[in-house]
Copies of this chain bind each other. A is one copy, B any other.
Amino acid sequence: MNQRQLVAGGKSSDGGGRPGKNGDGAERHETIYQSISDAIIEHRLKPGARLREDALAEVFGISRTGIRKILQRLAMEQLVTLTPRRGASVTRPTADEAKDVFDARQMVECGLMPEVARRITAEDAQSLRELAVREREALRAGEQSVAIKLSAAFHGRLARISGNATLAAFVERLCSRSSLILAVYGNAGHLGCESHDHDDLVGYLVSGNGERAQAFMSRHLKAIEASLSIHVEEDEAPDLFEIFSG
């Protein structure tokens, strides 16, 4: 019983502290999923970090069964990589994947802007501006982790406004992966620093100017992508012939 536990450790409101019978099991899983997901997106778990099932099971106070379920979900979202007999590790995106993700964001997020401009309400705009403010505050406070997560949340919520749940979920996953890409290829202290892009974007949207918002989003994403330093590091499977025959 002296094991360190998280998630339900703060509340511990399940009567007598019996660890096995906590209220709703599904919510528990969801919370743990969020914890791990956030840790990855906020770069507290860096790409390549191994995620051993035993360790996670002990930390969160559930059995490996539940952990495996969560890891598989994270794997489907490509936040972690499952190597057959080696277990799970935080995904290290390749340069190709990075390009694919940003191309996809260009297509989908830009394509969504007209519809978003048509549907956005005052509350939506307010909520978005709030996210943008908090993002800038976090950035100013030096909390890059929080800023990254807030930026992803901004883009995700934006997509939700379109009303298309399928595309919104896709965008959210692309944003999560983008966070990983930033962790590998991003230049520290250079990501969207202090830029008012998000505020400006909301401005164009509330004024109903979908075309302009679309163009602006395109430039915004291009700027982020351009700020990456894509050094094609071919760690795995280096071409030995190429290397030693030259």
Contacts and interface: CB of A to CB of B under 8 A. Distances in A.
Contacts of A112: 107
Nearest to A76: B76
A196 interface: no
A165 interface: yes
A107 B84 CA distance: 35
Contacts of A97: 165-166
> Among the interface residues A100, A101, A165, which one has the most CB atoms of the partner chain B within 10 A?
A100
A220 to B, nearest CB: 18
Interface in A63-120: 69, 72-73, 76, 84, 96-97, 100-101, 103-104, 107-108, 111-112
A177 to B, nearest CB: 8
Main secondary structure of the interface of A (DSSP, over half): helix
A100 B26 contact: no
Nearest to A99: B164
Contacts of A108: 107-108
Give the size range of A's interface with the partner: 20 to 34
A65 B100 CA distance: 34
Contacts of A73: 72, 76
Given A69-B72, A76-B76, A170-B170, A104 B26 contact: no
B72 A167 contact: no
Given A76-B76, A111-B107, A100 B69 contact: no
A234 to B, nearest CB: 17
A17 to B, nearest CB: 25
Contacts of A84: 26
Interface string A199-232: 0000000000000000000000000000000000
B107 A167 contact: yes
A76 to B, nearest CB: 5
A143 to B, nearest CB: 29
Given A69-B72, A104-B166, 15 more contacts: A26-B84, A72-B72, A73-B76, A76-B76, A97-B165, A100-B166, A100-B167, A103-B164, A104-B164, A104-B167, A107-B107, A107-B112, A107-B167, A108-B108, A170-B170
